[in-house]
Amino acid sequence: MFRSIQSKLIIVYLLLVLVAMQLSMVYLLKQLERSYVAKEQAELHQTALLWEGQFSSFLVNGKLDEGTIGLIVANLPGDVLVLDGNGKVIGATAKQPDHKDLVGKKYSNDDITPALVAPQSVQSVGEDDTGERIVAEALPIEHRGEVVGIIYLRASLADVYTRLSQVRDTLLTAWAIALGSTATLGVVLARTITGPIREVTRKAAEMAGGNFDQTIAVRSSDEIGQLGDMFNRMTRRLKSTLDEIQGEKHKVEAILTHMADGLLALDETGRIIKLNPAAERMFRTTEPEVLGRHPADVWPDLGLESALDRALEETRSVTFEFRFGGLYLLAYITPLFGERQHVAGMVVVFHDITELEKLEALRREFVANVSHELKTPLTTVKSYVETLLDGAADEPELRTRFLRVVDHETDRMARLVKDLLHLSQLDQGSVNWDIHAHEIPPVVDDCVARLAVQIERKNLVINRAFAAETPLALVDRDKLQQVLLNLLANAVEFTPSGGQISIATRADGAMVRVSVADSGIGIPAEDLPRIFERFYRVDKARSRMLGGTGLGLAIARQIIELSGGAISIDSELGKGTEVVFTLPAAQVAETGWN
């Protein structure tokens, strides 16, 4: 009952009214009582003065005439005692209890005794022996400055208190009616105050449930109206702020969801509170599986916990490299601090550097291969030159043979440098292209003609299978020739005498498909994935002996892919190899770009 403001307002309001009415009624009754009692005392005093004047005439030798006064008093109405100067009763009315026994005896009380001692009137209000409320007065009778007697009168206050009781009943009735009216008015007044508050509470509950489209009708300009107006302003501002926060949250969620790096967020206790999709893919888990757990419990073998502790100790960002599931990851660990350097959490960003490590390994291997490829001919050239300087130059036949070796090794280095420069230009995009529609068969025939000597020496059979519907290809003719020469040269070199080389072309959707197949020694299955890598050789000793640089297939792949096509290789050891590449067909591709 007392939990609502309305009930509290009504109770407090009624209590205030009740206290006010109670105080006012008590005050009014007291004032009436004083007034009525004062009136009775005044009337009693007038009566006492009247009898004092009459009894003063019954003096004999300075004393009251007891016989006469006794007879007079005995017949008086009311409650009257007359005493002489010594306090002896000389007359009593019939209303006095035992009035006959009182005559001739001394009588004193709290009113009479002071009146005898000091010649002055003494009044009092009290109760008699029966409990009835009375008003009394003792008035001295004086003669020549001496008290010769006392008139003691008493009057009942029953009528006074009856009237006061009637007044009290009337006031109580009026009070009850006023209290009921006040209660009704209090309920109405409380509702006018608590009604808007209830509406604000209900609207606030709706907002707590997520519905921010809430407004309050402002019906007044008082404090309640101001409260409603401020609530509406707060609602609009809160909705605007939450919309902004929601927008920012969506942006952050979109960034975290689509960022390539993995993200792990920890709270102040070191428990996981966020794992983005990239991190889920890296660690092959899902966010619900790890939420609320410590990283050391989820990934006990990573050593990540020590890196986290180090970041907290040093209060700065630290990095940590580790391997997980075939990935090489670099973790950036950043502690978050709140007020007074309190740890608020940590953010760990995982960067997948697996490809970078592979590229770095390839770079190291590339540098080593280039160094090795250059070192071998340079060593040969140096040794032969030194031999010539030591005197071999004086022998014509030996000098000529040595110089031919030097010339061969120099050509080998020149081819290597040329291929490296070509690859570099392809990587940097600085190669000039002359793209036009070309028929592929004439280019194939031209390449076969250039290798005719090697083909005839090994008695190889060249099979051509050019489909009649083969479309023109959009390609740089010189670069296509470079690719075909490389593929045909490899086929010729690794195909035994009397073998076959087949060249075929046909349409393949929007592309032109070209294949070069041989019946040569083939390539082991484990070497096929790396066959297009730079400097990779299946038979390194034989390749170097034949003068190869190990860059031909890498260059061919670059040219085909930059032309808009694709290249692949299929081989079976001891049975042969087939290389297939595609180029855009002229009918569906744009032409004339350089």
Q: Which two tokens stand for residue 65?
A: 């005439």
Same CATH topology for 6-162 and 259-352: the answer is yes
pLDDT at 504: 92
Distance CA 492, CA 454 (A): 7
Nearest of 531, 555, 547 to residue 421 by alpha carbon: 555
pLDDT digits (tens, 9 = 90+) for 31-56: 888 888 888 888 888 888 888 888 88
CATH architecture of 259-352: 2-Layer Sandwich (3.30)
Supply φ then ψ for residue 532, to 5 degrees.
-95, 5
Cα 144 to Cα 182: distance, rounded to the nearest angstrom: 66
The per-residue pLDDT for 426 is 65
The answer to whether 477 and 546 are in contact (CB under 8 A) is no
583 near 517, Cβ under 8 Å?
no
Instruction: Give the residue from 480, 459, 505, 492 showing the smallest Cα distance to 555.
Output: 480
pLDDT value of residue 171: 83
Which distant-in-sequence residues (6+ apart) come within 8 Å of 295 by Cβ?
A: 264, 266, 270, 272, 302, 304, 305, 308
Residue 437 and residue 472 in contact, taking contact as beta carbons nearer than 8 Å: yes
Helix and strand tally (H, E) in the chain? Answer: 17, 19
pLDDT (tens digit per residue) in 146-189: 888 888 888 888 888 888 888 888 888 887 888 788 778 777 77
Q: What pLDDT, on a 0 to 100 scale, did the predictor assign at position 592?
A: 38
* Rounded mean pLDDT for each run of 10 residues along the chain, 594 residues in total: 64 78 84 86 85 79 75 78 84 68 79 79 81 86 82 84 86 83 76 71 73 69 72 79 82 81 87 87 86 86 82 83 84 82 83 81 67 69 78 77 79 70 66 85 90 88 89 89 87 90 90 92 85 68 49 82 90 89 75 38
What architecture (CATH level 2) is domain 357-426? Orthogonal Bundle (1.10)
Q: At what angle do helices 5-55 and 158-208 cross, to 10 degrees?
A: 170
**CA within 13 Å, CB half, 456:** 5
pLDDT at residue 59, rounded to an integer: 74
Report the b/e string of 436-465 with b at 16+ CB within 10 A: bbbbbeebbeebbeebeeebeeeebebeee
Which 3 state secondary structure label does DSSP give 151? strand
Q: Where are the domains of the chain?
A: 6-162, 219-251, 259-352, 357-426, 432-584
In this structure, the chain runs to a length of: 594
pLDDT for the residue 118: 75
Domain at 6-162, CATH homologous superfamily: PAS domain (3.30.450.20)
Q: What is the model's pTM?
A: 0.43
Element holding 475 (H helix, E strand): strand 473-476
CA angle, residues 25, 28, 30, in degrees to nearest 5:
105
d(CA 296, CA 301): 8
Burial annotation 154-191 (CB, 10 A radius, 16+ → b, else e):
bbbbeebbeebeebbeebeeebeeeeeebeeebbeebe
Angstrom CA distances, 181 to 6, 15, 22, 53, 177, stand at 17, 14, 16, 57, 6
On whether the 432-584 domain is CATH 3.30.565.10, my answer is yes
Tokens of 107: 């009588």
Distance CA 568, CA 579 (A): 6
Q: Which two tokens stand for residue 305?
A: 């916990």
Give 580's strand partners: 515, 568
